[in-house]
Amino acid sequence: MTYKVFVDGQEGTTGLQINEYLAQRSDVEVLKIDADKRKDLAERKRLINASDVTFLCLPDEAAKESVSLVDNPNTCVIDASTAHRVNPAWTFGLPELAKDQRAKIKASKRIANPGCHATAFILALRPLVEAGLLPAATQIAANSITGYSGGGKSMIADYQKASESPTQLKAPRPYALALAHKHLPEMQAYTGLSVAPIFQPIVGPFYKGLAVTAYLQPQQFSRKASTADVQKIIADYYAGERFINVLPVDLAATTEGGFYNVEANNDTNRVDIAVFGNDERMLVVARLDNLGKGASGAAVQAMNVHLGVEESLGLV
Ligand SMILES: NC(=O)C1=CN([C@@H]2O[C@H](COP(=O)(O)OP(=O)(O)OC[C@H]3O[C@@H](n4cnc5c(N)ncnc54)[C@H](OP(=O)(O)O)[C@@H]3O)[C@@H](O)[C@H]2O)C=CC1
Ligand SMILES: CC(=O)N[C@@H](CCC(=O)OP(=O)(O)O)C(=O)O
């Protein structure tokens, strides 16, 4: 069986990387759009409706426009943008979210790919909310350290004009300081928290790699729990998930001399979740490749789940 796949936004950061994944596959025929027609509505409409799966790797408004062009009921749309992530008519494309999420992705023709920060945040915290340890009304504080490719083509260009880079691009840069980052709605909805987190990301002078750190105050837990207990709840939740690795509570084994490497999962679709701290103060940290499990890898994984080929076609 060969699936016809169209990548709307094939020249963007996410689209290019999806094409790299697809180029390795013999079960996929990629429908290419001519370079000069990339923004031509009629041509996009033709290719979207000729496809079994269309990936949208576009800004939000263009993604909504593409969805309005779909008239083939068999076309499955996987949208990498923020436009549809908490829309109830869409399925959240995170197979590890819950036991029934794969079945939902398989059945749905509208799949919203999670945001990169949101993927890490949700995977780290949802097991603790589900277990009843973290009360839903807890306001979590979290940060994220991310590479600049998360900002797409224009941010990449800013950072890669190396000789002309202003000095400030050579240091980490906190952003989203109005504390209204666009991932808050999905972070809240899919963890089960009833309050949006205080979330504040930092972009650094490296291409890719991301780690979200959430601060836990054990005195807010519904019962007494050690770091080992928290680690076990998360590890049990993801037992059998090949892309999720819950690290042991062992600083010497999980850090490099006490430093945590945010690039450790680059070029993979993997997520590592680590619990640090002590009985009074804890951190839960999830790291991933923002272009892997944070974007393109996740989109291809969602396609695999939808098509029922997840086990046979490996992302690493
Ligand atoms: N980078 C990342 O880590 C992640 C990105 N995302 C999301 O994925 C989407 C794509 O992001 P990213 O790849 O980083 O963005 P880029 O800016 O790298 O690429 C976007 C692409 O969309 C094209 N485009 C813009 N408007 C239209 C249009 N009307 N019709 C057709 N093509 C259009 C652009 O064309 P042109 O080349 O001419 O500018 C560009 O090639 C965004 O919604 C982003 O939020 C999601 C997760 C992570
Ligand atoms: C460095 C940087 O700017 N990163 C982007 C994250 C990109 C991403 O995953 O989010 P979307 O899919 O929602 O665009 C940001 O924080 O807005």
Q: What pLDDT sits at residue 168?
A: 82
Query: Which residues of the chain register pLDDT less than 70?
Result: 312-314
Domains of the chain: 3-114+295-307 (3.40.50.720), 116-292 (3.30.360.10)
What is the ipTM metric for this complex? Answer: 0.93
Verify whether ligand 1 is closer than 6 Å to residue 58 (CB atom): yes
Verify whether ligand 1 is closer than 6 Å to residue 295 (CB atom): yes
Best mutation site among 113, 153, 182 for ligand 1, i.e. most ligand atoms within 8 A of its Cβ? 153
CA–centroid distance, 237 to ligand 2, in Å, is 27
Whole-angstrom distance, CA of residue 77 vs CA of residue 13:
18
Whole-angstrom distance, CA of residue 103 vs CA of residue 137:
29
Q: Is 57 a catalytic residue?
A: no
Radius of gyration of the chain (CA): 20
pLDDT tens-digit profile of 150-180? 999 999 999 998 777 778 899 999 999 999 9
Residue nearest to atom 6 of ligand 2 (CA): 150
Verify whether ligand 2 is closer than 6 Å to residue 9 (CB atom): no
pLDDT tens-digit profile of 122-152? 999 999 999 999 999 999 999 999 999 999 9
pTM of the model: 0.96
Residue nearest to atom 38 of ligand 1 (CA): 11
Q: What pLDDT sits at residue 113?
A: 98
